[in-house]
Amino acid sequence: MIIESILFNQLEITEEIKKAVTDMGFEETTPIQTKAIPVILEGKDVIAQAPTGTGKTCAFGIPAIEAIQTDNDKVQVLILCPTRELVIQTSEELKSLYKYKEGVRALPIYGGQQIDRQILALKKRPQIIIGTPGRVMDHLRRKTLKFEHLNMIVLDEADEMLNMGFREDIDIILESVPEERQFVLFSATLPKAIMDIANKYQKDAVKINVVHKVMTVPTVEQFYLETRESSKVEVLSRIIDANNFKLSVVFCNTKKRVDDLCKDLQTRGYSAEALHGDMKQLQRDNVMGRFRSGLIDILIATDVAARGIDVDDIDAVFNYDVPSDEEYYVHRIGRTGRAKREGVSYTFAAGRELSKLRDIQKYTKSKIKLIKPPTIEDIKENKLSGILDEVKDVLEQGKLTKYVKYIEQMLDELGDVSQDNYATSLELAAAFLKMTMKKTIMGSSKDVKPEDLSSGMSASIDAYEGNMVRLFINVGKKDNLQINDLVKFIASNTNIEGKSIGKVDMLDKFSFFEIPKTHLGEAMSNLIDQTLKGRKVNLEVANKKQGGRGGRSSQGGSQGSGNKSYSRR
């Protein structure tokens, strides 16, 4: 199956956007991005049929940001979404896209949020508005939102908006924007009502259709493990150690992830090599040759580089990162289960990635089963079975004469019943087996409980009484972090409401905050490795006795460091 896509750096977009896209972990475009971005950049009206999870936000978001005139502080782009959740999600993704573009401002507006706060935010002159039809209508009635300078309007999930009864609002909004503007419409389905809107408000629209391909890998058994970022290497090691895979492919979403994982696995003693676009063709050919011949057990690759993988006897595929598009998932796991052989795939996911996995399951019409990571005992049992199978093979091959004499010598030394070191031939064989087992168990050195791998729980939370737990985050005042920034970051990435966040202590280089214990796993899954104030977030449970990380209490930290302490309760 050939996926229609190109590298983002091949698109005619600014370097700032390319840099942001790289930071977000995207290397190549999804099919909808390949087709839509160039057309929208040309200023044409577009009607695109594309399901959720295909990369739609970047497809319209990149051209929208590129169209912004930064010296103009009027609203230039309006993006309508059916739900509050989609508004927030779209807003966050746009912020990631324009973080290197100076002078671009966006504002999400939706119901359930105080309208006075939104009116105040509108005075900061955002050029991009992302909103629900109902709340946009509220602002139009109050005249707090004006579209005289609008040059692009986007309807995202248009069919869902109609299903929710927003047709009248959409008509009113579309009639209130300038006649000379670009109209981009995205919808999973194209019923008559959607086509009526397109025919009425669009001019010479380019029609784009991205249809999901049918699942073509029925022999692949699919599993997923609820695994947070910090435990992925351990879980991967355990699965490899608990099975007898000869050849495996591990997929990551970025080249850096490929390199980092390759180093981690090599450090743990695995025969692993990287494959990605930054490598010269000669290097890639060399790696592939060694993989085909079995000199490499594990190949770690990006989607782009993996197109050159044409090997029939791959036993397992790992989605170390959930792919950005459903078709990428099909393309990845199709690497195993070839030539009528059975294959297996494992996907690591946590937090919001689980909803993306549900979309993948829906569109591929396949069952992806939840499993727990193998235990240390599972690994030992598998290794033991493997060793015994090898022993049987050696016995069948014979030619053991020169080894038998050494065993006989040892039995002569250990065969005196009167000595303390007396041993039978059976005990001698058992000793050899024990010694071999110690040398065979490799990657999984720590016995972590399976539930700990997904929940982010730490033993240190036991020190906390009551319902709250205190967390350390590696962002502070020197990063221009404000209390409201931190609260917004937590609330927008989790289901933790702002009012549920307890005491917040801000120091120069890091901060502490309290959340309900019941949300700890969710916070660990959703916040770690996110970006806040330009820094990659690290989160840890703070030491209750010391009040913070590294022995600094929040009270002690306030002396001479000017820390802020704020209680939201």
| Contact present, 290 and 230 (Cβ < 8 Å) | no
343 or 267, higher pLDDT:
343
Statement: residue 553 has pLDDT above 50: no
* Among the listed residues 477, 460, 435, 453, the one whose alpha carbon sits nearest the alpha carbon of residue 561: 477
**Average pLDDT score over residue span 434-452:** 50
- Top mean pLDDT of 69-83, 263-277, 453-467, 483-497 is at 69-83
Report the pLDDT value the prediction gives residue 544, as an integer from 0 to 100. 54
Report the pLDDT value the prediction gives residue 438, as an integer from 0 to 100. 61
Determine which of 65-69, 289-293, 356-360, 457-461 has the lowest per-residue pLDDT on average.
457-461
Statement: residue 172 has pLDDT above 90: yes
**Average pLDDT score over residue span 283-290:** 86
Distance CA 283, CA 303 (A): 17
- Top mean pLDDT of 269-278, 445-454, 543-552 is at 269-278
pLDDT band for position 125 (cuts 50, 70, 90)? very high
Classified as helix, coil or strand, 249 is strand
Q: Find the DSSP H helices in 244-306.
A: 255-267, 281-292
Report the pLDDT value the prediction gives residue 213, as an integer from 0 to 100. 55
Determine which of 26-40, 193-207, 412-426, 452-466 has the lowest per-residue pLDDT on average.
452-466
Tell me the DSSP string of 368-389: EEE-PPPPHHHHHHHHHHHHHH
pLDDT band for position 230 (cuts 50, 70, 90)? confident
pLDDT in tens, 12-24: 999 999 999 988 8
**Average pLDDT score over residue span 446-471:** 52
Residue type, 178: P
CA neighbours closer than 13 Å in the CB half-sphere of residue 210: 27
Distance CA 267, CA 264 (A): 5
pLDDT in tens, 207-222: 998 765 555 556 789 9
**Average pLDDT score over residue span 515-542:** 85
Statement: residue 344 has pLDDT above 90: yes
Statement: residue 224 has pLDDT above 80: yes
Report the pLDDT value the prediction gives residue 293, as an integer from 0 to 100. 87
Statement: residue 470 has pLDDT above 60: yes
Statement: residue 546 has pLDDT above 70: no
Report the pLDDT value the prediction gives residue 1, as an integer from 0 to 100. 41
**Average pLDDT score over residue span 399-410:** 80
Distance CA 146, CA 169 (A): 15
Report the pLDDT value the prediction gives residue 53, as an integer from 0 to 100. 65
Report the pLDDT value the prediction gives residue 517, as an integer from 0 to 100. 84
Backbone angles phi, psi at 150, to 5 degrees: -70, 130
| Helix, strand, coil abundance in the chain, percent, nearest 5 | 45, 15, 40
**Average pLDDT score over residue span 377-402:** 79
Report the pLDDT value the prediction gives residue 385, as an integer from 0 to 100. 77
Tell me the DSSP string of 174-214: HHTS-SSSEEEEEES---HHHHHHHHHH-SSPEEEE-PPPP
| Contact present, 140 and 173 (Cβ < 8 Å) | yes
pTM score, whole prediction: 0.52
CA quadruple 410, 412, 413, 414: dihedral sign:
positive
Statement: residue 551 has pLDDT above 80: no
Report the pLDDT value the prediction gives residue 140, as an integer from 0 to 100. 94
pLDDT in tens, 53-111: 678 899 999 999 999 999 999 999 999 999 888 899 899 999 999 999 999 999 999 98
Statement: residue 50 has pLDDT above 50: yes
Percent of the chain with pLDDT over 90: 40
The two three-digit tokens of residue 428, written as one number: 């001698």
Report the pLDDT value the prediction gives residue 235, as an integer from 0 to 100. 93
pLDDT band for position 458 (cuts 50, 70, 90)? very low
* Among the listed residues 53, 309, 348, the one whose alpha carbon sits nearest the alpha carbon of residue 222: 348
Determine which of 71-85, 102-116, 193-207, 516-530 has the lowest per-residue pLDDT on average.
516-530
Report the pLDDT value the prediction gives residue 269, as an integer from 0 to 100. 79
The two three-digit tokens of residue 435, written as one number: 């010694």
* Among the listed residues 23, 98, 16, the one whose alpha carbon sits nearest the alpha carbon of residue 57: 98
Beta-carbon count within 10 A of 402 CB? 7
Residue type, 217: V
Q: Which domains can be identified in the chain, with CATH numbers?
A: 8-209 (3.40.50.300), 220-374 (3.40.50.300), 377-440 (no CATH), 456-566 (3.30.70.330)
Statement: residue 460 has pLDDT above 70: no
pLDDT in tens, 129-139: 999 999 999 99
| Contact present, 25 and 257 (Cβ < 8 Å) | yes
* Among the listed residues 336, 250, 239, 247, the one whose alpha carbon sits nearest the alpha carbon of residue 291: 247
Statement: residue 244 has pLDDT above 90: no
Distance CA 315, CA 247 (A): 6
The two three-digit tokens of residue 101, written as one number: 């573009």
- Whole-number average pLDDT of the chain: 82
Determine which of 55-59, 327-331, 433-437 has the lowest per-residue pLDDT on average.
433-437
**Average pLDDT score over residue span 481-490:** 88
Question: How many residues make up the chain in this entry?
Answer: 569
* Among the listed residues 127, 117, 28, 124, the one whose alpha carbon sits nearest the alpha carbon of residue 74: 127
Statement: residue 128 has pLDDT above 90: yes
Report the pLDDT value the prediction gives residue 323, as an integer from 0 to 100. 86
405 or 565, higher pLDDT:
405
DSSP label of 214 = P
